[in-house]
Structure 1
Amino acid sequence: MINPKIENLIIKFLTNQASASELDELELWIQDSNNNLLFNTYVKINYAIEFNMRKFDINKAKDKLNEEIGNDKKVIKLKKIRQKIRYAAAITIGILATSYFFKGNLFDTSVDNGQKVTKTIEAGTDKATLTLDDGSIILLEKGDAYQTHNVSSNGEQIVYNDTEINTNNIKYNYLTIPRGGQFFIKLSDGTKVWLNSESQLKYPVCFKKGGARQVELVYGEAYFDVSPSTNHNGAKFKVLNQTQEIEVLGTEFNIKSYKDETNIYTTLVEGKVEINTSKGKQLLVPNQQSNLNITNNDISISVVNIKEVVSWVHGDFVFQNKPLKDIIKVLSRWYDIEIEIENKSLEDIKFNGELSKSQNLEEILLLIKNTNYINQYELNNKKVILK
């Protein structure tokens, strides 16, 4: 039996009315495994949630949110649900979807033997397609192993060994990451590369001894942790990418270069890189980002928040003053779904938020919807329409 005080905290949490101190208190209570079970059982009892929600002034809560939005210059905050509460409360989303409190359909439902079946859009996972130099294609998925004399994969990453080869016959592989996927690769020189959804990397099976180490980010987004040139007799590391070439000595940096975008963003985390384009060279220092417009090759340099740029590598989405139209691009790639904004005036509304990539799509859409700018949304097969 949950005591009235804790019950009150749970309802406040579910209706976004809990203060920071109340969230801390609820989080501490849920840490106990018995309480965790009580929490989930309580949430499953739908009538109890609906009954207690009537005790709260919903309009007052919405007015308070609108006031906060106005004070923050129209930048809306997407609150990151605390880790322990989020995992304990994962089941609540399905129940809230049927509650009278929310107007929109949060899930795609179909009828199976006379009963409604809920279909959720799950988060992306580790998967890739490996194309060998002879054209052979290997599917790499979590749980499936792939092994040859110089490469191994467990379905979550692929690792190449540094082996002696005929330097006159360099063989190249392609690693292609689909929408809804991500993958890690360790090249033969020890360089580590994290590849985001909808990306492709071309690289030699083994680098030519004595020559520059060169790979190509054909498209997409990649984070490089380059093995220092001092470990390879001074051999430099180069990344080719559309209309630019990046030369590094030993560093960590991120490149974002998607096929459906006209700008390439190169962000330096540490070390030193030189960007070469048809209009000259640009040197980046840590925390700087270059923005190359591929339509005219104009390039600009700015200081950026590194955490926001590379958050995807660490399993998060971090948005700072990010327009909704840019956010849905990120979500579309990771969840492999089309997202359309029906009311075009909403496209430039800006959000701040830090969310987990492991959350299902409905949890994130629910947070966006609760800003009151989005009245509802529809989920039809592989398409979401924000209204």
Structure 2
Amino acid sequence: MASKQNERIIAKYLINQASFKELDDLEAWIKKPNNEQEFLNYVKVNYSIDYNLKITDTVKTKKLISTLFKREKRKFRVRRIQRYSKYAAVFIGIMISIYVFKNVLFKSLDKDTTTPVIVTNIIQPGTDKATLTLEDGSVVDLEKGVSFITANANSNGEEIVYRIDDKKTKELIYNYLTIPRGGQFYVVLSDGTKVWLNSESKLKYPVSFIEGETRKVELVYGEAYFEVSPSTEHKGTKFKVFNQSQEIEVLGTEFNIKAYRDETSIYTTLVEGRVTVNYENRKQNLMPNQQSSLDVNTKNFLVKEVDVYNEISWKEGVFSFERKPLNEIMRVLSRWYDVDIIFDSKSLEEVKFFGVLGKDQKIEEILETIKNFKIIEVYEIKGKTIILK
């Protein structure tokens, strides 16, 4: 049985997100007796693979594998050319094996005779875009391919970076970064803290922090991943994130906060370091790989161990769903693709799905993958509305 660590590496490998160290580990594991078959069995049972690979035509498949190989080769050459041949061999072997089991896996599915899919509109995946509200109230659209410069920051349309203020700030001046549905953005604050913002999110932060005072930002709503510049680089000043009913206090760490307006719970997931969650005049320290959930209505507060990769994969361009109910998955997809999703049957909402999918895929490809794994029978796309049956 594949370990939890190997499960994560397999998932990352299949969507081209694995590091060299992870490839080392995966290669060593596959070389052991019976593990190649274990690899194939594990993926077949547990994962829905990119629907683009569901090809029964041998010529097309060989062409696709060749394309994937060239892409992987370019990536490795840029990183570490002397290690290329070792990993290229691993890549070819595994890709051929994947093709073999996929051909078997999808063979029966190709004979599916369910109602054909009805599509009346092409929906595009999300992209880098945001609106920046400046201190004077003016609003600027930030989008891929468009540059923007202020006295304090500059943006290339995919990120915005604030400059360190050489002059000592005496008054806090705030900017707001708002990410719409179908968007994402990355910001580097003036203290060097890095923040990744997911779709339908809003962050309030100062243009510059006051030296010696606690650094404070507010996640007004949505989801954000923080890589906080350590207090040791800022004369010991703490960093705090406020949002709705709680406050996160950190000294220098990485964590994820999910606080969407259409969800009743706030989730805080610690990746590394140490944070303290303050809520209802109480405090709770989190350890790495722990997640707290606070119900904003009942004030019920829970802490549990989680697979961190599944919680933060969104910032790496991946949807990683580990037996998540379909209604939760569809909320994620609706934000990224900026669509409304309707369930024809209430019972469908609680059906669970386990899959790793790329955020750059077309929505039709993702829906086809879910459909081919018998999670849904059919779907319809009408304008910006998707109906699941």
Q: TM-score, normalised by structure 1?
A: 0.73
1:102 and 1:277, CA in 2 relative to 1: closer, same or farther beyond 3 A?
Answer: same
Q: Aligned partners of 2:272, 2:370: CA distance in 1, in Å?
A: 34
Q: Aligned partners of 2:219, 2:55: CA distance in 1, in Å?
A: 46
Give the secondary-structure state (helix, strand or coil) at the position aligned to 1:235: coil
Check whether the contact 2:325–2:353 (CA below 8 A) recurs between aligned residues: yes
Q: Aligned partners of 1:383, 1:14: CA distance in 2, in Å?
A: 23
Match of 1:226 in 2: 228
Q: TM-score, normalised by structure 2?
A: 0.73
Match of 1:152 in 2: 154
Give the secondary-structure state (helix, strand or coil) at the position aligned to 2:185: strand
1:374 offset after TM fit, Å? Answer: 1.8
Give the secondary-structure state (helix, strand or coil) at the position aligned to 1:347: helix
Match of 1:315 in 2: 317
Q: Aligned partners of 1:360, 1:302: CA distance in 2, in Å?
A: 34
Match of 2:117 in 1: 105
Structure 1 segment 63-212 matched on structure 2, within 5 A: 103-108=115-120, 119-165=121-167, 167-212=169-214
- The amino acid of 2:380's aligned partner reads E
Q: Aligned partners of 2:246, 2:288: CA distance in 1, in Å?
A: 19
Match of 1:241 in 2: 243
Check whether the contact 2:257–2:268 (CA below 8 A) recurs between aligned residues: yes
Give the secondary-structure state (helix, strand or coil) at the position aligned to 1:322: strand
In the alignment, structure 1 segments of 5+ residues that lack a partner are: 1-12, 37-81, 87-95, 109-118
Q: Aligned partners of 2:165, 2:240: CA distance in 1, in Å?
A: 20
Give the secondary-structure state (helix, strand or coil) at the position aligned to 1:129: strand
Give the secondary-structure state (helix, strand or coil) at the position aligned to 2:312: helix
1:30 and 1:336, CA in 2 relative to 1: closer, same or farther beyond 3 A?
Answer: closer
1:376 offset after TM fit, Å? Answer: 1.3
Q: Aligned partners of 1:202, 1:165: CA distance in 2, in Å?
A: 22
Check whether the contact 1:106–1:362 (CA below 8 A) recurs between aligned residues: no
- The amino acid of 1:187's aligned partner reads L
Q: Aligned partners of 1:14, 1:307: CA distance in 2, in Å?
A: 24
- The amino acid of 1:104's aligned partner reads P
Verify: 1:337 aligned to 2:349, yes or no: no
CA RMSD of aligned residues (A): 2.9
- Highest CA radius of gyration, 1 or 2? 1
Match of 1:79 in 2: none
Match of 2:17 in 1: none
1:163 offset after TM fit, Å? Answer: 0.8
- 1:352 counterpart (337, 354, 357): 354
Give the secondary-structure state (helix, strand or coil) at the position aligned to 1:375: coil
1:191 and 1:15, CA in 2 relative to 1: closer, same or farther beyond 3 A?
Answer: closer
- 1:252 counterpart (249, 254, 257): 254
Q: Aligned partners of 1:239, 1:346: CA distance in 2, in Å?
A: 36
1:291 offset after TM fit, Å? Answer: 0.5
Match of 1:386 in 2: 388
Aligned residue-pair number: 304
Per-residue CA deviation, residues 304-361 of structure 1 (Å, 9 max, x unaligned), is: 0001000001000000110001000000000000011111111100010000000010
Q: Aligned partners of 1:102, 1:140: CA distance in 2, in Å?
A: 43
Match of 1:213 in 2: 215
Per-residue CA deviation, residues 138-191 of structure 1 (Å, 9 max, x unaligned), is: 000000000123200000000000114564421000000000000000000000
Q: Aligned partners of 1:332, 1:267: CA distance in 2, in Å?
A: 22
1:222 offset after TM fit, Å? Answer: 0.1
1:148 and 1:30, CA in 2 relative to 1: closer, same or farther beyond 3 A?
Answer: same
Verify: 1:291 aligned to 2:293, yes or no: yes
1:295 and 1:165, CA in 2 relative to 1: closer, same or farther beyond 3 A?
Answer: farther
Give the secondary-structure state (helix, strand or coil) at the position aligned to 2:181: coil
Q: Which stretch shifts more, 166-175 or 261-270? A: 166-175
Identity of aligned residues (%): 54
Compare the two structures and name the one with the higher helix fraction: 2
Check whether the contact 1:106–1:366 (CA below 8 A) recurs between aligned residues: no
Match of 1:61 in 2: none
1:14 offset after TM fit, Å? Answer: 8.3
Per-residue CA deviation, residues 79-131 of structure 1 (Å, 9 max, x unaligned), is: xxx89x99xxxxxxxxx99x9956232421xxxxxxxxxx3211100000000
Q: Aligned partners of 2:283, 2:322: CA distance in 1, in Å?
A: 29
Q: Aligned partners of 1:258, 1:349: CA distance in 2, in Å?
A: 22
